[in-house]
Amino acid sequence: MNKLILNFKSKDTKKIKNSKNFLGGKGANLSEMGKMGLPVPPGFTISTKVCEIFYRNKKKLNLKLINQIKKELKVVEKDVHKKFGNLKNPLLLSVRSGARVSMPGMMDTILNLGLNDKTVIALAKKTSNGRFAKDSYRRFIQMYGNVVMGVESYHFEELIENYKLTKGVLLDTELDEEDWNGLIKDFKNTIQEKTGKIFPQDVYQQLFGAISAVFLSWESNRAKVYRKLNQIPSEWGTAVNVQSMVFGNMGNHCSTGVVFTRNPSDGSKDIYGEYLINAQGEDVVAGTRTPQYITKKAKKEAKVKEASMEESMPKIYSELNKILKKLEKHYKDMQDVEFTVENNKLWILQTRAGKRTSKSAVKIAVDMVKEKLISKNEAVLRIDPNFLDTLLHPTLDEKSSIKVIANGLPASPGAASGKVVFTSEEAERLNDMMQDTILVRLETSPEDIQGMHAAKGILTARGGMTSHAAVVARGMGRPCVSGSSEIDINYDKKIFKTSLVEVKEGDIITIDGSTGRIILGEVPTVKPEISGDFSRLMSWADNIRKLKVRTNSETPLDTKIARDFGAEGIGLCRTEHMFFDEERILSVREMILSKTQEDRAKALKKLLPHQKKDFMEIFKIMHGLPVTVRLLDPPLHEFLPKSEKEISEVANVVGADLKEVKTRIDELYEQNPMLGHRGCRLGISFPEIYEMQCRAIFEALSELKKNKQRFAFPEIMIPLVSTEAEIKIMKDLVIRIAGQVEKENKIKVDYLVGTMIELPRAAVKAKDIAKHAEFFSFGTNDLTQTTFGISRDDSGKFLNDYINNKIFTIDPFISIDEGVEELIEIAVSKGKTQNKHIKLGICGEHGGDPKSIAFCSEVGLNYVSCSPYRVPIARLAAAQAELNKKKI
């Protein structure tokens, strides 16, 4: 296939593999509709390959391409019996972008190309409609002036508004031919004034200028932002579609519109769209005129008087309806269709898969299986797993009026309103009084865990999508907006400022964790529905996938939520989070600051019943399923008091003077705690801590078994192991404590002992570690940090620069990096070599990322584990990974 430019009717399109990659989505669909016998205006597609050549050739079209375009133009002239630039019967063109995937509104379009001071006269004579011809010309000048010559649209809009004011009219349609004549002159003068250039009269100069402008719009700021948000590669480029014009603005027998084959908001099987009589396509989307509804039903529901298309153009409506059914049946998906009616003749200008809400996406997929249009497998593959995020959380009622005062990162989905508080204590206090709060912090720390749980939502000025606030909020199912550099927090005055307002403690705000918006006042929310179609889709996914899905959870509430969402166990129960409870933190601090082993044992004895109670609750909820309990991981200083009041409180409890306690706190301070005295290193130095935790686990299990209650299967996970000796010593400790509890209770306890692979050395030496481990769980958060030498909490300061400079294509804390993948592959291979029955899982934040889940499926892991609200996402992504493996 050497042809770079193809006519819509060309037989060569059949030879193209992945035609959307070459012709773009729009070009491929126009070609397909032509083959289906639908009324498509003749034209041709300039392929995405030409876009690549254009940028290589210093953003210019070479002579060979120019000649090919002229050659294809001759074919269109022959089809429509018109000539480009002819002074009797001129051919007019539309020039539109067409990327592989739909990027609505992101790139440029030019209509009515080929009009100039002479051809406009020919068009007026040919149509016997001078007003229409002049209206078409001014539209072309306006679009060309903006898109190709860079004149801001508002300059043209101001001129139109001034004309309407002078005439005392409201609508563009009330301006006559003379008005348009005056505006054409004013538009051309404005272009010359703003650019120093004359509006081109040469139609070929117009054409090649427009094609170049569409290629250049691929690199416009809005297109770049859209690509980044939707992870569309910049190297794809765009195609350009050159098509003969059809006119919806020649009179009252003409119209233009956009219609969906189903309702894109709720997924119901109703045609949904809008049209305008005597208008061009951009009038529908520009908002300069209020469109009318396509169907009588929609008109009735909206309670408007203007006639629907079904009433005003019944024959055209009937024909359109048949075409819509044909298109949906052919493409087996909801279609978004643009059409024009020229003198009672219907033309289809474009079809594409329609954008839809997450709720409607699920409904449409399930309905199409019922209608036997697609299979269950196709339905599962069709839903973007990340779409489900918004289905599982309350969302803002978009019908409400809102005042956005700032924006941040959409760190955890859902919407929440509440009183602004600046401390965790205040969040807890107001929560006890049944008052909703939004916790506003510069950044959160593990000590804020109670406040985060008490608050309805979290807002931070610092931190990225994988910051502490983001990760914990997602785990709790709390909405969170993080890293809002637009807010300036003053803890002393208990206020935060934005460029628009000053917000005091107690004022009510709303945060939208799905978009990053911060809104003044309370906004009503809409509760999610997770039964019906959603449950049906999930059941299909569960029947397909082989990868098990667990959850990261350490509270009975989160465990219950995860179980309801279909979690098949707990892949990470972080025991340290249980220590931050107000009742327990003093005992933890007492234990850490104790001088002797005897004093430490006393403090640990106080903690034992609390831990045991938590484990009993979790084991009951996860009856019959595995629960992986990670023994204490963070460095001890994270639990220590920071304020004078807290230090005094601890000093009283441990019976020491203030100075002595402060000295001990200073001794425990670490320069680099993430790589310091934490994980199994604590277990080696202070084995009594791990002994207490293991005792709590086994006593909880024994009591449940003794009372014939429901219970889970515990897996004891040793954190931060890097050597064989560490895992051996820790495993011996676990076995010893289990034996003691069995002897005391005369009940056998079943359990596994394994480790978290979160250090590169552990991955490389996995064969040795596997001698003593019955499972590996990859802690990809720390494995990513230690592989790159990047702190997750500080990476937000430079990660965007790395992504912009294409050092990273995506944040490695969101999707597993290929270097980390290789370490996991090494560990899997070496671990299985030593122990072919070893269980393998992942428990970092990556466990809820669809791309990372595909890798986990490919490499042969047994399960992924993620925060409770991402469990359905992981279930769907695991099914898709399995189906995609079969395609290869």
Alpha helix (H) ranges present in 805-888? 818-834, 850-859, 871-887
Asked whether the beta carbons of 265 and 134 are under 8 A apart, the reply is: no
Residue 176 CA: distances (Å) to CA of 137, 163, 206, 249, 341: 13, 11, 26, 13, 22
Helix, strand, or coil (residue 81)? coil
DSSP per-residue string spanning 709-730: ----EEEEEE-S--SHHHHHHH
DSSP per-residue string spanning 664-686: HHHHH--SSGGGSS-THHHHHH-
Task: Give strand pairing partners of 520.
Answer: 509
Choosing from 51, 393, 453, 468, the catalytic residue is 468
Choosing from 573, 680, 843, 856, the catalytic residue is 843
Closest CA to 563 of 521, 626, 614, 510: 626
Hey, which bits of 245-320 come out as E strands? 255-260, 272-277, 292-293
Closest CA to 516 of 416, 440, 441, 409: 409
Residue 883 CA: distances (Å) to CA of 543, 854, 877: 11, 10, 10
Closest CA to 770 of 723, 703, 709: 723
In eight-state DSSP terms, residue 413 is: -
Rounded Cα gap, residues 248 and 763, in angstroms:
65
Contacts of 287 (CB under 8 A, 6+ apart): none
Q: Is 468 a catalytic residue?
A: yes
Rounded Cα gap, residues 761 and 769, in angstroms:
10
* CA torsion, ordered 559, 562, 566, 569, to nearest 10 deg: -40
Residue 599 CB-density burial (10 A; 0-12 exposed, 13-18 middle, 19+ buried): middle
Helix, strand, or coil (residue 697)? helix
Asked whether the beta carbons of 369 and 363 are under 8 A apart, the reply is: no
Indicate the helix (H) or strand (E) that contains 734: helix 724-745
Helix, strand, or coil (residue 350)? strand
Residue 793 CA: distances (Å) to CA of 641, 757, 785: 21, 20, 10
Rounded Cα gap, residues 778 and 649, in angstroms:
39
Quick one: tokens of 55?
């940028």
Helix, strand, coil percentages, rounded to 5, for the chain: 50, 15, 35
Indicate the helix (H) or strand (E) that contains 752: strand 752-757
Indicate the helix (H) or strand (E) that contains 421: strand 415-421
> What count of residues does the chain have?
888
Rounded Cα gap, residues 688 and 331, in angstroms:
65
DSSP per-residue string spanning 305-345: -SPPHHHHSHHHHHHHHHHHHHHHHHHTS-EEEEEEEETTE
Indicate the helix (H) or strand (E) that contains 626: strand 626-630
Q: Strand 43-46's sheet: what is its strand order?
A: 5-7, 43-46, 238-244, 93-99, 109-113
Q: Is 846 a catalytic residue?
A: no
How large is the angle between the packed helices 871-887 and 850-859, nearest 10 degrees?
Answer: 50
Residues marked active site are found at 468, 843
